[in-house]
Amino acid sequence: MQTHDAKRVVITIEAVMESRLTDALQTADVTGYSILPVLGGSGRSGPWSREGQVSRAGGMVQVICIVHPDRLDKLLDAAFAVVERHIGIVTVTDCQVLRAERF
């Protein structure tokens, strides 16, 4: 099966920043992404969990985008402008996709 190179960007960010990040991605012409809830974890401020929380203030989400390598810098510039001052992690990994024209 023919596959094509792509970049998988995973942005773990505070839930309250979700709409700002997705707005920035849309502005950068990244129209395809998935958002996953993060159930809990542990970081520099200690462990945390979504369970029982009624506010989005303590939660995190993951925004996952898969883009053509040529579009990576534009995506990262847009994402960094939003996440720069906030808790979060941005990772970029190589991946393969079947239908390159979709990314």
CB of 83: closest distance to other proteins in angstroms?
A: 10
CB of 85: closest distance to other proteins in angstroms?
A: 5
- CA end-to-end span of the chain: 18
The residues of the shown chain that bind other proteins, judged by CB under 8 A, are 14, 16-17, 19-20, 45-58, 85-87
Cβ nearer to other proteins, comparing 50 with 68 = 50
How far is the CA of 81 from the CAs of 8, 20, 33, 34, 67, in angstroms? 19, 10, 18, 20, 18
Cβ nearer to other proteins, comparing 6 with 18 = 18
Four-residue CA torsion sign, 78, 79, 83, 85: negative
Cβ nearer to other proteins, comparing 6 with 60 = 60
CB of 27: closest distance to other proteins in angstroms?
A: 13
Nearest to 67 by CA among 10, 6, 22: 6
